[in-house]
Structure 1
Amino acid sequence: MTRKVMSKITLVLAVAAFALSTQAAFAQKPGVEKLYIMNCGEGVAGDIGRWSPGVNEGKSMDFVDTCYLIKHAKGWFLWDTGIPDAIAAMPNGLVPADPKAVTWRRPKTLASQLEQIGVEPSDVKAMGVSHTHPDHIGNVEMFPQATLYVQKAEYDWPGANNEPRFKPSHPVELLNGDKDVFGDGSITVLSTPGHTPGHQSLMVRLPKTGVVVLSGDAAHFRDNYDNRRVPAINFSKEQSLASMQKIADTISKEEAQLWINHDKAQRDTQKMSPEFYD
């Protein structure tokens, strides 16, 4: 074999190796590009002993309500929708019947925050909610075309007066456990029942930030999570404790950050939309 032929073979092999390495790099590229944290409500809890029995009795606390908009290569994905945008027009906010509960206000609407980053509600093709309490599903029907990912146990759970929790016409994918939404490991719904029958959390794999777990109401603030406190209002104490442990195991395995929906102290340290995490 001549030197010239060997040189050609070497060149061909080098090009092939480069092509394979490039393909591998693209294959490993996460599908998630950006994550925006949206202000979906601010409020004051009258008595946080409601969420931590035997602790903090009679103590008031500021709460926040958070939504997360995720840009994936296959489209926009929204996690939780907060309290209804209509509450923005209420001067005194939404005052609960129970003085121990949260009085919610809406300083910014979800619609205005989407508009600020150039996203139309119709651009959102898929969405999920951690659970079906009103402060998490308040704007679901702003996205009637988006496929809703929800646990079957939550979807079947009767609402007030045995009414359905979502409009029957809303496209939905009912889940029975964890779900890799786009099949690439970048957005994974984690079944974490306990707060409600079909409560779920979300694991998001960001290219630079790394893995974050959006825990919904598996815990309402960090102190409750750290001390494994379960609100008396939860559907199941045993499931709640098991779900907190599942989240802890996931965080340990993935070296992930834990983002707690209602925790104002944590949210005050985070970048809010129009800034984003990538």
Structure 2
Amino acid sequence: MLKAPFIAARLALASLAILVAGCSGMPAPRASGVERLYILNCGEGEAGDVSRWSPGVNVGQPMPFVDNCYLIKHAQGWMLWDTGVSDAIAALPDGLAPADPKAVHWRRPKTLAGQLAQLGVQPADIRYVAVSHAHPDHIGNVELFPQTMLLVQKAEYDWPGANNAPRFKPEHPVTTVEGDKDVFGDGSVTIIATPGHTPGHQSLLVKLPKTGALVLSGDAIHFKSNWDYRRVPSINVDKDKTLASMQRIADLLAQQHAQLWINHDQAQRDTLKMAPAYYE
């Protein structure tokens, strides 16, 4: 006759075998988490009159501008936030002069394609391209990624361009967003609706394991003094929504203990590590 401890051991082993067999056909759990973030140089230039972005302040004064893109390596794939001014500008000896002398004269010291190649990343490797908004200094290279899913607010996607032309190629794969979106489903990368600069402007909350939380402003804020004094550029489509979006970002920074990275602010950009260095 078998003793009770022996029977219990046999039953435990049988149960384990059944569990293993049952799990063998189950899909593996989805990987989660941001692994690193690169800052890419997506343009440098000079505004002819900075008061275009700060009405009544520093009228007639020029100001340097930078244009950042951000490459995010997530366990589920690569994501690119904004694409900067067109890589074609790199071939122009004096850059691209604006029609409005108050606007930014852009230059492209490094191409986006070249910086990705330096990191060993091909355009086809990018799972998502998300853009803060549809101005040319943010969507200039969207078509370097013709098969990559584009993430953009529906209000921005539907916003007509010059002569009512679409701002994006209709054949480009797109997911139109209405409000916030948890991109990878794990809370590590979240699109935040921040309208005002344009109808469907959006910012990005990124949670890095070592650096902590970051809010990538897009053009919800153009430079630090505008943020400090809540100044709204005259070119924005809606002043009240811009101010509400600034407040939303302020609340988010407090809730998440996050840093604010302002896209066009050269003084801040010059304190940060650029690719091929990265943040974890």
TM-score (norm 2): 0.89
2:194 to 192, 195, 198: 192
SS at match of 1:239: helix
Partner of 1:97: 99
Partner of 1:274: 276
1:246 to 245, 248, 251: 248
Partner of 2:164: 162
Q: What is the distance in 1 between the residues matched to 2:142 and 2:119? A: 19
In structure 2, runs of 5+ residues without a counterpart are 1-28
C-alpha contact (below 8 Å) 1:181/1:187 kept by paired residues: yes
Partner of 1:124: 126
Partner of 2:226: 224
Which one-letter code corresponds to 2:218 in the other structure? G
In structure 1, runs of 5+ residues without a counterpart are 1-26
Q: What is the distance in 2 between the residues matched to 1:64 and 1:233? A: 18
- How far off is 1:262 after superposition? 0.3
- Residues 10-33 of structure 1: per-residue CA shift (max 9 Å, x gap): xxxxxxxxxxxxxxxxx9x95100
Q: Count the aligned residue pairs.
A: 262
Q: What is the distance in 1 between the residues matched to 2:243 and 2:64? A: 24
Partner of 1:22: none
Q: What is the distance in 2 between the residues matched to 1:114 and 1:87? A: 17
Partner of 1:113: 115
SS at match of 1:83: coil
Partner of 2:7: none
Partner of 1:65: 67
- Residues 152-174 of structure 1: per-residue CA shift (max 9 Å, x gap): 00000001110111111111111
2:35 to 33, 36, 45: 33
- How far off is 1:226 after superposition? 1.1
Identity of paired residues, percent? 71
2:44 to 38, 42, 45: 42
1:257 to 259, 274, 277: 259
1:85 to 87, 95, 98: 87
Could you list the runs of 4 or more consecutive aligned residues of structure 1 that deviate by over 6 angstroms after TM superposition?
none
SS at match of 2:150: strand
Q: What is the distance in 2 between the residues matched to 1:161 and 1:36? A: 36
Partner of 2:22: none
- How far off is 1:56 after superposition? 1.1
- How far off is 1:134 after superposition? 0.3
SS at match of 2:61: coil
Q: CA RMSD in A?
A: 2.2
TM-score (norm 1): 0.90
1:152 to 144, 151, 154: 154
Which one-letter code corresponds to 2:76 in the other structure? K
